[in-house]
Chains A and B, each alone.
Chain A
């Protein structure tokens, strides 16, 4: 089974990297971009008997390591 985990900064947390990218896009005249937030993607292969078990496993991975829940949220999609 494969999954994609997306980790993003919580709203309200300053994202200076996203801001810098946003500014760079503006200077490239890519018009119409209102804001940019940067995040991380993890493509995970896993060994789980069913979707429920896979989701539980990925949640554990996110809570223990992949995301810092002080400042980040995560989203799991099974592929």
Chain B
């Protein structure tokens, strides 16, 4: 699989996602100032971090980077795009995914392990998981409180576009298991054609038993097998 990881000023998880993808090919790091993706790119990853210091709004300035026109063209061709954490924030600011990510309801930056429930496993991102499975991933964000107008939420739910929800270790949804106040405990969503995924948690940080577990591997293995 040919993956291109976009590096923005202030990205900081590009190395983590590079490591997760290295098991499945030779990912390339692409500077945001480029205007084209490497030839033959299958997957574009917008990694986590604090692009442009989160100035103005998280992801707002990165969404206007030169490379983003190529990312949009790639998505329109049906190419895969994965936005993790700040990458998710960039995708909603860019308009490839609907809604917005607001300040966490409890106002605190949260950095810890968190379970999320796989809402469907018939996508290129989640085929190696089971539907309803609770996986343990890391979260590290201050603005992960997913919101959208009622109509958008109804459309996302109706079309089965919620990819992951925050849950407890048994896959149960509960207010206490929702770390940031996201509507319907939404942790990640798909685009209309299911080729773009944005999520706040970091599956790329759970790929090694030495650092907490390997539940994140499934996402990258799914992409590689797809």
Chain B interfacial positions (CB closer than 8 Å to A): 56-57, 60-61, 64, 92-93, 98-100, 102-107, 145, 147-149, 181
Contacts and interface: CB of A to CB of B under 8 A. Distances in A.
Nearest to B150: A12
Interface in A4-53: 13-14, 16-17, 20
Given A16-B107, A65-B56, A70 B64 contact: no
Contacts of A66: 56
A17 B103 CA distance: 8
A13 B93 CA distance: 17
Contact of A16 (B60, B103, B148): B103
Contacts of B107: 16-17, 20
A13 B102 contact: yes
A14 B56 contact: no
B100 A71 contact: yes
Interface of A: 13-14, 16-17, 20, 64-66, 68, 70-71
Nearest to B148: A70
A56 B61 CA distance: 21
A65 B100 contact: no
A4 B145 CA distance: 29
A13 B103 contact: no
A14 B64 contact: no
A65 B105 contact: no
B88 to A, nearest CB: 14
